[in-house]
Amino acid sequence: EEPSRRRLRTAFSAEQISTLESSFQRQQYLGAAERRQLAGRMRLSEVQIKTWFQNRRMKLKRQL
């Protein structure tokens, strides 16, 4: 039986996290264009950016 083909967890660099965090401080929701631009600038996929923002919003919600 074929083992599940899940993606490995992305290990973000400190620099990437700092870029993502400052972006998140400005706006908690990214539009498609902003996400594309950020992904290109950070050499990450749009899905990775989208998922990071989703997880970060959940983290904020838990903290409140």
Residue 3 pLDDT > 90, yes or no?
no
Give the per-residue pLDDT at 28: 96
Give the per-residue pLDDT at 1: 62
The pTM of this model reads 0.85
How far apart CA 35 and CA 29 sit, in angstroms, is 9
Nearest CA to 32 out of 21, 40, 42 is that of 40
pLDDT level of residue 2 (50, 70, 90 thresholds): low
- pLDDT, mean of residues 33-59: 96
Residue with tokens 């039986």: 1
pLDDT level of residue 9 (50, 70, 90 thresholds): confident
Domains and CATH numbers, the chain: 15-23+30-63 (1.10.10)
